[in-house]
Chains A and B, each alone.
Chain A
Amino acid sequence: MFYREVGQFETSYGADMALFPIRQDRIGFALILAVAFVILPLTGNQFLLNSILIPFLVFSLAAIGLNILTGYTGLLSLGSGAFMGVGAYACYKLSTFFPEVNILVWILASGFVSSAVGVFFGLPSLRIKGFYLAVATLAAQFFLQWCFARIPWLYNDNTSGAIEVSTHTLFGLPVTGPNATPTTRYLVVLTIVVAMAWIASNIVRGRIGRMWMAVRDMDIAAELMGIRLLRVKLLAFAVSSFYVGVAGALMVFLWLGSAEPEAFNIDLSFLLLFMIIIGGLGSIAGAFLGAALIHILPIALRALPALVDLSLGSATIEQLTFMVTGALILFFLIVEPQGLARLWRIGRQKLRVWPFPY
């Protein structure tokens, strides 16, 4: 009923290969975009935009990046938090060297710096797999975080050791710094994330994505079929680190406004890993769902007691939030070990055949 697909024929190869081949999906997606681009910026207050939506989008982008590496190519990484840091520090250095250049250029350029660092730390992936690779990327995490804290050049010798973002403008409007409104920043982040998610979903459906998945499923078989492991694995590291790096630059420049090395610690890497595991490995939508569950759910839970006029004290609420979030994560993983994206896929399939399930 919801998905009456009768009469929708694909008459060209292009239509057959479309991102959303079913009309209802296209309408639904357009609705989501309309809400995100028009309704939310018009109605959202500072808390909704700045503390819920911007971080959600930033984490989604980073999760897409990690998903390319871990979900699509099967290379486990615990260094994604540090790669976000590389993006952030690269953007900071570039924008302080050349403050007159448009900040968006530097945000994207910092992705390439992160990419290069990612390829370097990806080299061991040619020899080691699985948990051993996780340990190698863990080394990257610790080494890079040490650099952020110990190399004064990276933070321009600030006594506090933190990096601070000054004001940059885009079309005359401030997009970074204290004068940028949450709405402007949200729209900039949203545009970048939508564009990069669209590119990612096309990469993973195409030749490159298929090579990644072949490597993930069995790298020896992939090699026998003529896929060059060296190039493919390093390409996965490069693309993944690019996404993660851009997310890191967005995090500092358009969300936090300043950052200490501690912001890119191992917890952030784990958080991103949990997002893609809960959201669904090897799924772009899963990155968004995972980011929503990990970031928005605790905030919503913390707001609940105030809503029903229950004064619990901030510490009690905090503890309860931890417990409930943990329990929900366990629950979702028991119900569907392959993540929320898989749950959505099953639900969608049921809706398509409803009311005549078979």
Chain B
Amino acid sequence: MKKTNRALKILAGAALALTLAAPAFAPAAAEDSIYVPLFTYRTGPFSGSGTPIADGMHDYLTMLNERDGGIGGVKLIVDECETGYDTKRGGECYDAVKSKNPVLVNPWSTGITLSLIPKASVDKIPILSMAYGLSASAKGDVFPWIFNPPATYWDGLSEILKYIGDGAIDKLKGKTIGYLYFDAGFGKEPIPLFQQLSKEFEFTLKLYPVAPADMQNQSAQWLDVRRDKPDFVVMYGWGAMNATAVKEAIKSGYPMDKFVSIWWPGEADLLSAGDGAKGFKTLNWHGVGTDYPALRDIKKLVVDAGKSLAPKDEFGGVLYDHGVYNSVLIAEGIANAQKLSGKKIVTGDDVRRGLENINLDAARFKALGLEGFSAPIKLSCADHNSHSAAFIQQWDGAKWVKITDPITPDTEHVQPLLDDAAKAYAEKNAGWPTRTEGCDNKS
């Protein structure tokens, strides 16, 4: 029986450890700082996409702390919570950070965003889902707490279709377009628009869903692509799915320059596919690289100081810069909130007002040390998105090359659908609150 004795002791030890751990769930909130939680994923099948974004977000905010002592003289507490791109874990992170008075959350997963949207107005914590999440949440009058600048997935799709239709979607008549997508909330998001446009402009739409479990095994989908021979393939992929899709496209001999993706594939996804990936195109809305004063500051104060987890080749990559852009929006939201409320330590409600007043014009970007980094973006109470233009960039085997001027979204078709979707969302969720939050920026 000696054996069980020992086991009992271990059990008792484990119980003790649990009791000891309990106070950790009730963290102390600092009085003289602003708490900015970052939901990130550096593990699991989505870490390939999640890690550079996490580094970009983290490094820009850390740089603000190092260079300016935070925002408006108030230090930021940058706290990462690992979600693994799992909706349940995202909810756990949300519960864990909620008691620390976060000024906003960045879910970095459409699934997590969808589950947090109803909570935002109750908990008074704004959600910044930068270019992902629910497209309909662009409408600030229905979703006062949700922000998804600078463009929705629907805007992105209309921009891609305009590009492959040589400037106008109606030139796609009679063509066949394949849609290869991540079969979850994110990839399904543009399908209603896609189907409507295909009916209206008479092109054939072929759907190739990739189940999350099959991300790294897309032979079935690409067999279908070979059979259907679509004129173009549009991809909405994430994590390991992007790299696999490019490899499979090369293997099945699909012409790379007819393969256009939304803004999520990174350099690593293409480098792993080798030379064959040359010609692959994605949508993007900001500059790539390190040639900006703000990024040089990050390099000097964060990366070289050993305060970043980003490896050398990842710094300044397209996904890293997505992360930086995300943090620019966070910082701008907080700075505006301080201005509007006159307080140094702002709350979630202040930051919501701050985000509604975002007006990043060329001069402001220059002041931030990001001259020419991105096109201007302006949000308002009604428009939480700005529906910005995006350009196409092409992979030349080693880096991205911008090949078009900014393409504006097809607002004429997207807007009515957006209005309907927002209305339908409010109707399906009976008791959806009508906007009572005040407005500082009506235009």
**Chain B, residue nearest A159 (CB):** B192
A164 CB to closest chain B CB, in angstroms?
6
Q: Give every chain B residue within 8 A of A314 (Cβ-Cβ).
A: 40, 42, 80-82
Query: Most chain-A Cβ atoms within 10 A of its Cβ — which of B23, B24, B91?
Result: B24
A166-B18 in contact given A46-B99, A179-B122, A262-B111 (Cβ < 8 Å): no
B115 contacts A257, CB within 8 Å? Answer: yes
B115 contacts A258, CB within 8 Å? Answer: yes
Interface SS, A side? helix
CB of A65 within 8 Å of the partner chain: no
A314 CB to closest chain B CB, in angstroms?
4
A315 contacts B24, CB within 8 Å? Answer: no
Interface residues of B in 209-225 (CB under 8 A from A): 211-213
Assembly CA distance A96 to B430 (angstroms): 10
A162-B43 in contact given A51-B92, A177-B118, A307-B20 (Cβ < 8 Å): no
CB of B134 within 8 Å of the partner chain: yes
B111 contacts A335, CB within 8 Å? Answer: no
Q: What string of 1s and 0s marks CB contacts (under 8 Å) between B282-298 and chain A?
A: 00000000000000000
Assembly CA distance A339 to B40 (angstroms): 35
Assembly CA distance A178 to B432 (angstroms): 10
B1 contacts A315, CB within 8 Å? Answer: no
Q: What string of 1s and 0s marks CB contacts (under 8 Å) between B108-129 and chain A?
A: 0011001100110111000000
B82 contacts A318, CB within 8 Å? Answer: yes
A159 contacts B188, CB within 8 Å? Answer: yes
A164 contacts B114, CB within 8 Å? Answer: yes
A335-B1 in contact given A45-B99, A161-B188 (Cβ < 8 Å): no
B115 contacts A256, CB within 8 Å? Answer: yes
B185 contacts A303, CB within 8 Å? Answer: no
Q: Give every chain A residue within 8 A of B205 (Cβ-Cβ).
A: none
Assembly CA distance A311 to B391 (angstroms): 40
CB of A235 within 8 Å of the partner chain: no
A-binding segment of B3-11, B159-167, B346-354, B364-372: B3-11
B8 contacts A347, CB within 8 Å? Answer: yes
CB of B21 within 8 Å of the partner chain: yes
Assembly CA distance A347 to B4 (angstroms): 8
Q: What string of 1s and 0s marks CB contacts (under 8 Å) between B86-111 and chain A?
A: 01100110011011000000000011
Interface residues of B in 149-206 (CB under 8 A from A): 183-185, 188-189, 191-192
Q: Choose one: B26, B88, B111; the contact of A162 (CB below 8 Å).
A: B111
**Chain A, residue nearest B82 (CB):** A314
B87 contacts A262, CB within 8 Å? Answer: yes
CB of A313 within 8 Å of the partner chain: yes
B24 contacts A265, CB within 8 Å? Answer: no
Assembly CA distance A182 to B140 (angstroms): 28
Assembly CA distance A300 to B22 (angstroms): 8
CB of B265 within 8 Å of the partner chain: no
CB of B309 within 8 Å of the partner chain: yes
CB of A35 within 8 Å of the partner chain: no
Q: What string of 1s and 0s marks CB contacts (under 8 Å) between B216-255 and chain A?
A: 0000000000000000000000000000000000000000
Q: Give every chain A residue within 8 A of B436 (Cβ-Cβ).
A: none
Q: Give every chain B residue within 8 A of A259 (Cβ-Cβ).
A: 87, 115
A334 CB to closest chain B CB, in angstroms?
10
Q: Give every chain B residue within 8 A of A167 (Cβ-Cβ).
A: 430-431
A343 contacts B110, CB within 8 Å? Answer: no
Q: Give every chain B residue within 8 A of A350 (Cβ-Cβ).
A: 1, 4, 8
Assembly CA distance A167 to B431 (angstroms): 7
Assembly CA distance A179 to B88 (angstroms): 19
Q: Choose one: A50, A99, A304, A318; the contact of B95 (CB below 8 Å).
A: A50
Q: Give every chain A residue within 8 A of B442 (Cβ-Cβ).
A: none
A166-B3 in contact given A46-B99, A296-B18, A319-B43 (Cβ < 8 Å): no
CB of A263 within 8 Å of the partner chain: yes
A346-B4 in contact given A164-B114, A313-B80 (Cβ < 8 Å): yes
Q: What string of 1s and 0s marks CB contacts (under 8 Å) between B15-40 and chain A?
A: 00110111111110000000000001
CB of B421 within 8 Å of the partner chain: yes
Assembly CA distance A336 to B6 (angstroms): 11
Assembly CA distance A167 to B432 (angstroms): 9
Interface residues of A in 254-275 (CB under 8 A from B): 256-263, 265-266
Q: Choose one: B3, B11, B84, B110; the contact of A160 (CB below 8 Å).
A: B110
CB of A48 within 8 Å of the partner chain: yes
Shortest 5 CB-CB contacts between residues of A and residues of B = A315-B42, A303-B24, A314-B82, A178-B118, A160-B185
24 interchain pairs, CB-CB under 8 A: A47-B92, A48-B25, A156-B428, A166-B430, A178-B119, A256-B87, A256-B115, A258-B118, A259-B115, A260-B185, A262-B111, A262-B212, A263-B88, A297-B18, A304-B17, A306-B24, A313-B80, A314-B80, A314-B81, A319-B43, A328-B14, A343-B7, A343-B8, A343-B11
Residues of chain A touching chain B, judged by Cβ–Cβ distance below 8 Å, are 45-48, 50-52, 55, 96, 99, 149, 156, 158-162, 164, 166-167, 177-179, 256-263, 265-266, 296-297, 299-300, 303-304, 306-307, 313-315, 317-319, 328, 331, 335-336, 343, 346-347, 350, 357
Residues of chain B touching chain A, judged by Cβ–Cβ distance below 8 Å, are 1, 3-4, 6-8, 10-11, 14, 17-18, 20-27, 40, 42-43, 47, 51, 80-82, 84, 87-88, 91-92, 95-96, 98-99, 110-111, 114-115, 118-119, 121-123, 134, 183-185, 188-189, 191-192, 211-213, 309, 421, 428-431
4 additional contacts (CB under 8 A) given A96-B428, A314-B42:
A46-B99, A177-B429, A178-B121, A258-B114
